[in-house]
Amino acid sequence: MSQKRAFTLIELLVVIAIIAILAAILFPVFAQAKAAAKGAASISNAKQETLAVLMYSGDSDDVLPLGTAWNTGHDQLCYGAGACFAVWSWSVQPYMKNTGLFHDPLATPNPSRPTAQDNFDSYYIQYGYNYTWLSPTAGSPQRFSGQSATAAAAPADTVMIGSKWANNENTSGFDWGTGFPPDEGMLAAAAIDVPDCWHIVQWCLDSWGEPSFFADTLLNKNEVAGAFTGGNSERSSGSMVIGWLDGHTKKMKPGALAAGTNWTPKTADSAVVVNDPTKYLWDLQ
């Protein structure tokens, strides 16, 4: 009659050690796979947004949505009497019917609210609009104007939207904007800024570089959130998810997105200028 043999302590420790080694190898792989899946979902969200903007323009005589529209009579939210607004993401919402698409799976989601969740989620979005060139302001008081969707000389090389900082990364406690009625301005919660905005006549929130409004006041030097890149978030493995005016989407490194300028991570904020207009990715020329 044979006797059953139990595992020795050494054998158990060897098995545990093997399991620990396998876990150490596999867990980072799982994390990378999860991040890659979220990155793909972020690109998909940006794609849906770019298509919604183009559909909006198709129903609006080829005019792109305003960065922020003020006191239209069917506004998204209000700061008070005479200061109601609808940002671009609210304007294109009828073509999407899903506020969740405005949120980057790689970022922290908005908190739940008992009421007006769709209004809130369509304002505190995580993809920003190239309002400087697609919805410029002019006049006194300043007013937004919508640009033609087909006016771009190279739509495949013209930025429409890009992944931006999330609401929880705003450490200032305020909503920031370039102007409020009687002037009209872009609200930062729905915006990204061009690299050379310091040198553009109309108001803008910030340029790229140091020192920076985003870094010092809004985003507390959070580079991933876009503190030194005009609010363009690098949370997708060091890249920004960008939607282009022709409707395609892809990831871009900060240096590539600042093509045509003299930007480097240490360039002074006020010193970023366009030095090669043929490579610049933001205007309609």
For 109-147, write each residue's pLDDT tens digit: 888 877 788 888 889 999 999 999 999 888 888 888 889
Residue 279 belongs to a domain: no
Residue 1 belongs to a domain: no
Q: What percent of the chain has pLDDT over 90?
A: 49
Residue 285 belongs to a domain: no
State residue 6's pLDDT score: 66
Our count of domains for the chain comes to: 1
Does residue 221 carry a pLDDT above 90? no
Q: What's the pLDDT band for 31 if we cut at 50, 70, 90?
A: low
Q: What's the pLDDT band for 4 if we cut at 50, 70, 90?
A: low
Contacts of 134 (CB under 8 A, 6+ apart): 64, 67, 146, 147, 160, 245, 284
For 55-96, write each residue's pLDDT tens digit: 999 999 999 999 999 998 888 888 888 889 999 999 999 999
pTM: 0.86
Burial of 24 (C-beta count, 10 Å sphere; 0-12/13-18/19+)? exposed
Residue 98 belongs to a domain: yes
Q: What's the pLDDT band for 165 if we cut at 50, 70, 90?
A: very high
C-alpha dihedral (197, 201, 204, 206), degrees to nearest 10: 40
Does residue 32 carry a pLDDT above 80? no
Question: What residues make up the domain containing 85?
Answer: 11-271
- Average pLDDT, stretch 28-44? 78
Contacts of 241 (CB under 8 A, 6+ apart): 39, 42, 43, 46, 104, 127, 162, 163, 249, 250, 251
Residue 282 belongs to a domain: no
| Torsional sign, CA 38, 167, 163, 54 | positive
Does residue 253 carry a pLDDT above 70? yes
- Mean pLDDT (the chain) is 88
Give the residue, 283 or 20, on which the prediction is more confident.
283
Residue 66 belongs to a domain: yes
Residue 4 belongs to a domain: no
Q: What's the pLDDT band for 212 if we cut at 50, 70, 90?
A: confident
SS3 256: helix
Does residue 209 carry a pLDDT above 80? yes
Residue 284 belongs to a domain: no
Does residue 2 carry a pLDDT above 60? no
Q: State the Cα–Cα distance between residues 178 and 80, nearest whole angstrom.
A: 17
- Tokens for 66? 């305003």
State residue 94's pLDDT score: 92
- Average pLDDT, stretch 169-189? 85
State residue 29's pLDDT score: 64
Amino acid 276 reads D
State residue 144's pLDDT score: 85
